A and B are shown apart, each in its own frame.
Chain A
Amino acid sequence: MNSLELSSLYQLTVVRFRLLFREPEAIFWIFIFPILLAVGLGIAFRNRPADVLQVGATTTQLTQALNADKGLTTTMDEAAGTQVLATGSILLLAIQRPEGVAYKFDDTNPDARTARLLVDRAIQTAAGRSDAVRAENELVHETGARYVDFVVPGLLGMNLMGSAMWGLGFSIVEARQKKLLKRLVASPMPRWQYLASFLLSRLAMLVVEVAVFLGFARVAFGVPFRGSLVQLGLLCVLTSLAFSALGLLVASRAKTMEAASGLMNLVMLPMWILSGVFFSATRFPVAIQPLVRALPLTAAIDALRGNMLQGMNIGQMIARVGILLAWFVLPFAVSLRIFRWR
């Protein structure tokens, strides 16, 4: 045996890799799942020609006026039109009244408000109104402003959270439940090395995991990388460390897998919802924004988006990086104190 094979830190880390790669499900969740998710979302939110807005009108005259601009209007009476409107098949119903035209629509729906503007313009133009100022359209479809560009950093953050927390939490609780932890502390193994082996294997996996996912996003969707790649790597490492520490904290006392997975979900579920994976976290009320901002996943995703989409450097995102660092240091310190070795 050479000296590397006699090193306990090396052996512990190698064991982590062996156990991971001999678990086919783990490979699916870590490597395949995020790609499938990105593909699915990419298909759902692919760039399409501008949406056709479905509207209805109550007279043939109105219908003809609308057809001049926007397609797909059908003539219907007011009662039938109201019913179709209620089911959401059309966004707006234009009703001919003796004194003029009435528009029936839901003003909380942005598409319906757009339909109101377009329909009104078409009807007014048909009635003879002319533009006071001549206007022309110049259309752009820029990379970096699409939904898929927005969602890729979100998925990356979510994936870093999931793999770090499950990776650490589950393995540790399993080892405790099977009395393996107790057996290990009965040997001369340095305890810090056991925890360090998880972090080391996590970081090594991270390189593969992030490269596969971002590489796919780049090739398949042309997602931009506007910031420094080195800093992006650092952000991924920091994110992974923060969630590893959180996973360690969750696993530091739990005696059964059931207790551990309950705790995991309790910790992760709020972040899936609040941290802006699929839509901007700014949509939540101002009152809970401080809470939302303080979550590690929010900080991670904001920082990843800042780097990838806006080309910001770490200096410009010091608050988010600080939050991530705090989420690394505090849970790690606490779990080292309360960790149950048997």
Chain B
Amino acid sequence: MMNGTKKADGPSLLLRGVRKAFADVKAVDGLDLEVARGECFGLLGPNGAGKTTTIEICEGLTTPDAGTVELLGLNWRTGASELRQRIGVQLQETQFPDKLTVEETLRLFRSFFKRGISVDESIETAQLEEKRRSRVVGLSGGQKQRLAMACALVGDPELLFLDEPTTGLDPQARRHLWDLVDRLKQAGRTIILTTHYMEEAERLCDRVAIMDHGRVIALGTPQQLIATVGGEDIVEFAVASGETSRAVVNAALLKAIPGVQSLDVDEGLHRLSVSELHTAVPRIFAVLREQGLHLSEFRTHSASLEDVFVRLTGRNLRDE
């Protein structure tokens, strides 16, 4: 599906020292990013982290206050009309006209591009065949999102921007969209997406930049980032002793357990990152028994990007 235009080397996207402030809020505060051709790159962060501002600067919809932005070796000042032909864009919360059909909407968007795939092909890719003649008003949330995706694809873009493609969708529709993104990746496109779902970033992205307050606070493959947490698993527990329902365990005792990499305590909730979960957990229980403490909560999960974010900021991604 990739069109045969010059495949120059060099990154698909290059940001250097990009800044943007709205009134007194620094939405993007000195951002450097580089995305290679064919890569699926994720911008992950809580609401208000500056993801959308960043992606809209990349899309040429917002002009940065400072810094350089290069896409496919071009910039928005001198190469805007060529860039518009070569990128595909899906924005957050675009509402297409209610009374147009899927096919009519795609026909309209296809007419803007000099070359691209046929309307039929885009309908097929987005799996909207059955809804081809339905009006937009009658589509489900997932179908509307796939229509937005199809509109981004009709120009057969080399570089595809997806801003929160699955926000507000139910789990099934989300998985459906993930499959679609997978197929687009396999076709060799460069994809840049924003999300505040870490499982989405882990599932789809080759590399992830975690953003907070307009800055990149961590960058790497999902596996690399998760490895920075220290252990493969996370153990969370709270203990009760006598009259206090949320007691604090002696940190030195816990850290002495083999396999425990780090410990955070937040309002009585102990969070340990652990390697060798199967040997560490019995030892944690033993320590608690010796201290005469009773568990009031206990759970474990595999370390995820969420834990990376928590470790870096002390906040949960979806706390906002």
Q: What is the bound-complex CA distance between A115 and B59, given in angstroms?
A: 78
The segment from B110-118, B209-217, B276-284, B307-315 found at the interface with A is B110-118
From A19, A185, A189, give the contact of B97 (CB < 8 A).
A19
Tell whether, in the assembled complex, residue B85 and residue A188 are in contact, meaning their CB atoms are under 8 Å apart. Answer: yes
Judge if A121 is at the interface, Cβ distance under 8 Å: no
Judge if B132 is at the interface, Cβ distance under 8 Å: no
Chain B positions within 8 Å of A11 at CB level? 107-108, 111
Judge if A46 is at the interface, Cβ distance under 8 Å: no
Tell whether, in the assembled complex, residue A189 and residue B99 are in contact, meaning their CB atoms are under 8 Å apart. Answer: no
Judge if A12 is at the interface, Cβ distance under 8 Å: yes
Q: Which of A1-59 contact B (CB under 8 A)?
A: 1, 5-8, 10-12, 15, 18-19, 22-23
The interface residues of chain A, by DSSP majority, are classed as helix
Tell whether, in the assembled complex, residue A6 and residue B104 are in contact, meaning their CB atoms are under 8 Å apart. Answer: no
Tell whether, in the assembled complex, residue A187 and residue B118 are in contact, meaning their CB atoms are under 8 Å apart. Answer: no
Q: What is the bound-complex CA distance between A180 and B148, given in angstroms?
A: 11
Judge if A104 is at the interface, Cβ distance under 8 Å: no
Chain A interface (Cβ < 8 Å from any Cβ of B) = 1, 5-8, 10-12, 15, 18-19, 22-23, 175, 178-180, 182-183, 185-189, 342
Of all A-B residue pairs in the complex, the 3 with the closest CB atoms, nearest first, are: A178-B95, A188-B84, A11-B111
Judge if B186 is at the interface, Cβ distance under 8 Å: no
Q: A186-B59, A187-B84, A188-B85 are in contact. Are A22 and B108 (CB under 8 A)?
A: no
Chain A positions within 8 Å of B84 at CB level? 186-188
Q: A1-B118, A15-B108 are in contact. Are A179 and B95 (CB under 8 A)?
A: yes
Tell whether, in the assembled complex, residue B112 and residue A187 are in contact, meaning their CB atoms are under 8 Å apart. Answer: yes
Tell whether, in the assembled complex, residue B97 and residue A188 are in contact, meaning their CB atoms are under 8 Å apart. Answer: no
Tell whether, in the assembled complex, residue B104 and residue A18 are in contact, meaning their CB atoms are under 8 Å apart. Answer: yes
Tell whether, in the assembled complex, residue A5 and residue B99 are in contact, meaning their CB atoms are under 8 Å apart. Answer: no
Q: What is the bound-complex CA distance between A180 and B89, given in angstroms?
A: 12
Q: A11-B107, A179-B91, A186-B59 are in contact. List 16 more A-B contacts (CB 8 A).
A: A6-B110, A7-B111, A8-B111, A19-B99, A179-B93, A179-B95, A180-B96, A183-B89, A186-B84, A186-B89, A187-B84, A187-B151, A188-B81, A188-B85, A188-B155, A342-B61
Q: What is the bound-complex CA distance between A188 and B59, given in angstroms?
A: 12
Tell whether, in the assembled complex, residue A19 and residue B112 are in contact, meaning their CB atoms are under 8 Å apart. Answer: no
Q: What is the bound-complex CA distance between A188 and B156, given in angstroms?
A: 13
Judge if B265 is at the interface, Cβ distance under 8 Å: no
Tell whether, in the assembled complex, residue B111 and residue A6 are in contact, meaning their CB atoms are under 8 Å apart. Answer: yes
